[in-house]
Amino acid sequence: MFSAAISRTRVPIARNARAFVATAQRKTSEESQAAVAERARKNRPVSPHLGIYKPQMSWVLSGLHRNTGVLVGGAAYLYTAAFGLAPIFGLDLGSVTAAATVASIPLPLLLGAKALIASSLSFHCFSGIRHLWWDSGRSVTNQGVFNSGYAVLTATALATGYLTFF
């Protein structure tokens, strides 16, 4: 049906393309191509991004889940690679050295690092459980999404506090 509508117009696509190119060539003979391109860039509307949307718990927590996964997974990969390559470079990354290094960090910096690690790890863990819960077909309504989101945030806050200070 669609091809029949095109064939009724009896205007070949290639001919339209040549006409468009010829029009563009006429304009460029009067002005340089750079000036035309600059004018087109100035008149082009800016495409909206996330700034036009009202933040909603579902997509904010989904993005945070992905970011914490990258953070936790990336740190694990980096430490594993460093631990494997340490003997080649003459470094000692054993548990005694790691404990001595952590003990030498000032307390406010240590608590901040522990809070960052604990919040990322616990949020990603609880959010992963939330996704598994959804995969089983439970709490997939709007109210269920909000309730499970608040449960994840509450569990993350409690776990972060516990892992940071104890």
Q: Is the pLDDT of residue 85 over 60?
A: yes
Q: Are 143 and 102 in contact (CB under 8 A)?
A: no
Q: Is 148 exposed, middle or buried (0-12, 13-18, 19+ CB in 10 A)?
A: buried
State how far the Cα of 157 lies from the Cα of 140, in Å rounded to an integer.
23
Predicted pLDDT of residue 48: 72
Predicted pLDDT of residue 6: 47
Q: What value does the mean pLDDT take over residues 109-121?
A: 97
Q: Is the pLDDT of residue 110 over 90?
A: yes
Predicted pLDDT of residue 7: 46
Predicted pLDDT of residue 53: 81
pTM over 0.85: no
Q: What is the pLDDT of residues 30-69, one digit of tens each?
A: 567 888 888 888 887 777 776 778 889 999 999 999 999 9
Q: Tally Cβ neighbours within 10 Å of residue 116.
A: 13
Q: What is the pLDDT of residues 9-38, one digit of tens each?
A: 454 555 545 545 555 555 555 567 888 888
